[in-house]
Amino acid sequence: MDWLRLQKALAIEAERGFNDLEGNQHRFSEFLALTLREPPTELPIVEQERLRAIAREFSRYSDLTFAQRQHLVADTRRVLYQTKRSAEDRAQAEESEGALAKVSEGIAQDSDNTAATAATPTRTAPKTKVPKAIPLVEKSSRLTLDQSVTYLPGVGAKNAERLAKLGLHTVRDLLYYYPRDHIDYARQVNIRDLEPGETVTLIGTVKNCTVFNSPRNPKLAIFEMTVRDHTGQIKLSRFYAGARFRSRGWQEQQKRLYPPGAVVAASGLVKQGKAGKTLDDPQIEVIDHIGGSIESMKVGRVVPVYPLTEGVQADVVRKAVLGALPAVSQLQEALPNGLREKYGLVGIQEAIAHIHFPPEGESLAAARRRLVFDEFFYLQLGLLKRRQTQRQEQTSAVLAPTGKLIDEFYNILPFQLTNAQQRVVNDILNDLQQTAPMNRLVQGDVGSGKTVVAVVAILAAIQAGFQAALMAPTEVLAEQHYRKLVGWFNPLHLSVELLTGSTKAAKRRQIHDDLATGALPLLVGTHALIEDPVQFSRLGLVVIDEQHRFGVQQRARLQQKGDHPHVLTMTATPIPRTLALTLHGDLDVSQIDELPPGRKAIQTNVLTAKERSHAYDLMRREIAQGRQVYIVLPLVEESEKLDLKSAIEEYQRLRDVIFPEFQIGLLHGRMTSAEKDEAISQFREGQTQILVSTTVVEVGVDVPNATVMLIEHAERFGLSQLHQLRGRVGRGAAQSFCLLMSSTKSETARQRLKVLEQSQDGFFISEMDMRFRGPGEVLGTRQSGLPDFALASLVEDQDVLNLAREAAETAMTKDPTLDRWPLMKSELTYRYRKLMGGTILT
């Protein structure tokens, strides 16, 4: 199975807005359905069935909503990644030990005390020499960075074809193909001192060795060896799947390799088995004697673990990288010496050599820190250069900060702006007066009043004779914005229209005509706004709500409808600082960090199935006081694979069994727009007391009278999404409640949910969500402009990111052209485009 091609197809589909792209032979969904319908037979049955289930989902892709497509694509990417990783691990378990070819002349610096660095004197076997370290390499006149991998020692044409599957064509490609992990086998331990969970190397003599066919699995051969040292003995096992391993000749050969009395070094992860401690999938090498040198690429050293694909074995990559290492001497240092000294960074040659084959843990940490810094630094430098370029552009819309429309709007508002809202309005109005187009992100927690702030900007554009566009990711949210704006614009005698995929053809043509003539000042809509027929007469302001749900190209297409219009983006999903720097390092950011007065904190509780009756009692009490209730579920229909409540099934049960005395509505993504509007209208107007819904209710449904939200299977949602859902209640003056129903036994899952009990702060919650699940999951989709780092982690490397941002700002202050650092400028051009896939430069 071509994992890379599948992942690329999923990435492109997400980048282009989940529109089921048309390929040369098939549509995207057809390609996925056909490919996953017949998974590789070597995969376990469970994994095969999981891929077939995904194939069935893609066969009905055209019927899914935008959000459901997002979730399916994201889930598929995660499943494929996990399946590929499992396949790699199994492939490594089947590899035979390959002896390491002698390190070439270019490798220098032995490090004979590596094993002693991590072990205490009582647990170390100090006499045995560990493998020669590969810290730095001398110049090689034979190798060049652009040379084909075919000519490296031990590679050849066949292995070059295999490496090409990983995108590795040249020596430079290999040097920058970083390991995804390292296993530290450098520490030597006596057998009696083995501790489960540690990765170690032990030295001992072979007591006995046998190889036999498994009596239970006809395709499996089992290798067993007993090794002893002066402190005890241990039984080691390896398993080989395949016909050739069942041959008597191969099995006898293995036994001859390890005769009784032979001295061996064995490395692996210590596990506690039924027969005592052992090493999981041990790597074994025969050495001359106790204290002899270990020459293996795996045994007794820090071993690099590379990302692999089908048909490419780990040792092929390791040997190729080893052969390429002498060429690191040709790498030029792009960072100025002063910068490296200030931030304590090792040189690029040392970093590249040690990220692959570090002599010990400290060298690996220093190498990784330098390379992570580089990834962050060039991204931040690129974002700052982009902001500089934007500020040099001239906008056609230079807008006055005051005017009749804005004054009248303030007069009709039934409330005063909060201090935070007024501060952000001032930021925006100041931007609108500049000749450079505004590019500002407004972050605000659920219910903080971002829409009102956006309306002030829209009115500033309209009163100056320009048009404005407001784009939202879903029809529900676009409809909600439209309703609010109609209520505010009618008293101002301004027209506003709504354009979505459900807009009738005649109405659509009228909107197009009014836009083109300039008769329509404001258009609200979904992705329909970026279609080609939509042409503005004089677009001066673009407002994008929940902007992280749109791809970079989608946002750019809307901006291209005008002549360098001002851009205001908004999000109700608070983003941690590290994520904001990575995604929006080129934007000016304003934060509405204050809720309107009178709002009470939402009382949040995590409940088990045993406490369900308490939840129902609370609902009855609230409804008796004239309040309303949301019940949210993760699925539309019952799933055969998962024991989850579905919205339809639960709606019927609640209506017929639990709450027959109340009117209950149903809302989910597969309903037509008219059906959704009807369900929301009935709930908004109080005709239904309970609304059973999927996550389509997450944004856009604003019913101040709703005071209770019950979320079933809460462990299936991310914290940021739960916080968004919770924001549907607590929008009035009455005390509101959020009940998180979960039957999970996972302690980690329960700890996640407890965060919501303890905090109402969206920024803190999103930070915790990122730590638990990763940045891509916090954003809801990987295709949101998030760079694909090779090494850097936004969770683990926050301190390095902050230093890299500081360094980039300093460099831009000293020389915005970067001409004084030509190597750094050249590296920026290469890295920035590669890291962002070119899309951020659109």
Q: Which residues contact 506 (CB under 8 A, 6 or more apart)?
A: none
Q: For residue 153, what are the CA distances in angstroms to 100, 104, 144?
A: 12, 9, 14
Spatial distance between the Cα atoms of 364 and 360, rounded to a whole number of angstroms: 7
As a whole number of angstroms, the distance between CA 632 and CA 651 comes to: 10
Whether domain 115-330 has CATH 2.40.50.140: yes
Q: At residue 767, what is the residue type?
A: E
Bridge partners of residue 203, in order along the sequence: 265
Does the global pTM surpass 0.75? Answer: no
Closest among 563, 346, 383 to 467, alpha carbons compared: 563
- Rounded to the nearest angstrom, the gap between the alpha carbon of residue 547 and the centroid of all alpha carbons in its chain is 17
Q: Which tokens in the block code for residue 635?
A: 């699925």
Q: Are the beta carbons of 371 and 351 closer than 8 angstroms? A: yes
Q: What would the two tokens of residue 41 be?
A: 């037979």
Q: Please give the angle made by the CA atoms of 285, 291 and 292, to the nearest 5 degrees.
A: 50
Structural contact between residues 710 and 741, judged by C-beta atoms closer than 8 angstroms: yes
> Which parts of the chain register pLDDT below 50?
95-141, 293-294, 781-784, 837-842
In angstroms, the CA 364 to CA 578 distance is: 24
Tell me: the pLDDT tens digits for 733-757?
A: 889 999 999 888 887 788 888 888 8
Residue 289's pLDDT is: 58
Burial (0-12, 13-18, 19+ Cβ within 10 Å), 183: middle
Phi, psi of 686 (to 5 degrees): 80, 10
Which residue type does 115 have?
A: A
**What sign does the CA torsion over 296, 300, 304, 309 have?**
positive
3-class secondary-structure state, position 724: helix
Residue among 201, 198, 186, 191 nearest 284 (CA): 201
Is 603-759 assigned to CATH 3.20.20.70?
A: no
Is the torsion defined by CA of 352, 353, 356, 361 positive or negative?
negative
Q: How far apart are CA 9 and CA 28, in angstroms?
A: 7
Distance between CA atoms of 671 and 119, rounded to whole angstroms? 63
Angle at 152 between CA 151 and CA 154, to 5 degrees: 110
Which element (helix H / strand E) includes 10? helix 3-15
User: Could you tell me which of 87, 255, 270, 267 has the C-alpha nearest to residue 192?
Assistant: 270
* Cα–Cα dist 43/723, whole Å: 38
DSSP per position, 763-805? HHHHHHHHHHH-HHHHTS-STTT----SS--TTT-HHHHHHHH
Cα–Cα distance between 178 and 155 in angstroms, integer?
18
Structural domain boundaries in the chain: 3-94, 115-330, 343-390+793-841, 404-433+449-571, 603-759
Of the candidates 630, 611, 612, 629, the one whose C-alpha atom is nearest the C-alpha of residue 620 is 629
HEC letters along 460-518: HHHHCCCEEEEECCCHHHHHHHHHHHHHHHHHHCCCEEEECCCCCHHHHHHHHHHHHHC
Question: Burial level of 816, CB count in 10 A (0-12/13-18/19+)?
Answer: exposed
Helix (H) or strand (E) holding 235: strand 232-241
Cα separation, 102 vs 114, in Å, equals 19
pLDDT tens figures, 193-247: 898 888 888 888 999 999 999 988 888 999 999 999 889 999 999 988 888 888 8
Secondary structure tally for the chain: helices H, strands E:
27, 20
Separation of alpha carbons 35 and 10, rounded Å:
13
Q: CB of 265 within 8 A of CB of 299?
A: yes
Instruction: Please determine whether the domains at 404-433+449-571 and 603-759 fall in the same fold group of CATH.
Output: yes
pLDDT of residue 18: 80
Domain 404-433+449-571 has CATH 3.60.60.10: no
- Reduced to 3 states (helix: H, G, I; strand: E, B; else coil), residue 226 is strand
